[in-house]
Amino acid sequence: MLDYDEEAAAYDATRGGEPRAREAAHAVLGLIPDRPGRLLDVACGTGIVTRRLATARPALQVTGADLAPGMIRRAADRLPGAVLLADCRRLPFADATFDAVTSVWLLHLLPAPADVHAVVTECARVLRPGGVYVTTVDKAAAHDVGSDIDAVLAARPRRPAQDAADAVTAHAGEAGLAPAGRSAFPGLGQGRSPRTTIADLRRGWFTRLPPGDPRAESLAAALARLPDQDRPRPDPLFQLRSFTKPGH
């Protein structure tokens, strides 16, 4: 797993920046009723999406939480006084505090189903009756756009998809949440080129292939033989699911 303290400085620039954040925030808000209340953005990262949630819905009091101090420092510049350091498996909030909870690009990072269950359960716990939980699902699958790069990478070892939509829906059901809706948004600026994919392999972005692994170098050599080394292939399409907590 990447060190997100180290990643903080370059995180936005390497992951689509403001255009991707705009698309993400728009899609997330499309699944949340437009009314006054409180919203918690779990694993808010640099706050690039969180700030857009707050700006687009002035009637919502938005709070961001993240486990990485480097991310929180950047998020605090965007939302002064509205972010805090917290473990999403043990949120420091009372039951039924928020009208909406979001977790964008979080569940796929968790190491085991028990961790996903803990996070979804915590998000449900702090949600008020009638509230909405929105999360991304199937993130790794979103990057497989059927390109020649994907064909080269097909044989790589993969982590189990902890954020598989069916699994997340099951965790949500066990936490007392009911499916409510779905949406999708493009990861603008995140289409892979062969050259950037080689760099990502050597940085350890493909988590089952640590830097220097001979298998990574074999894939890098195959990627280097592809045409149009600097041409990005299509952008990923990220999936969202929403769930409601029964009540008024």
pLDDT of 134-150, one tens digit each? 999 999 999 999 999 99
Out of 54-58, 115-119, 171-175, 186-190, pick the least confident. Answer: 186-190
Q: How far apart are CA 202 and CA 198, in angstroms?
A: 6
Segment 148-168, tens digit of pLDDT: 999 999 989 988 899 999 999
DSSP 106: -
Residues 96-125 have pLDDT tens digits of 999 999 999 999 989 999 999 999 999 999
**pLDDT classification of 8: cutoffs 50, 70, 90:** very low
User: In this predicted structure, what is the pLDDT of residue 71?
Assistant: 86
Range with lowest mean pLDDT among 16-20, 41-45, 173-177: 16-20
Q: What is the mean pLDDT of residues 29-40?
A: 96
Q: Which residues contact 208 (CB under 8 A, 6 or more apart)?
A: 156, 157, 158, 159
CATH of 10-140+160-191+235-245, one of 3.40.50.150, 3.40.50.2300, 1.10.10.10, 2.40.10.10: 3.40.50.150
Q: CA triplet 181, 79, 23: central angle to 5 degrees?
A: 35
pLDDT above 70: residue 170 = yes
Domains of the chain, residue spans? 10-140+160-191+235-245
Q: Determine what percent of the chain is predicted with pLDDT higher than 90.
A: 76
What order do you get walking across the sheet with 127-137 strand by strand?
Answer: 83-85, 60-66, 37-42, 98-103, 127-137, 237-244, 178-186
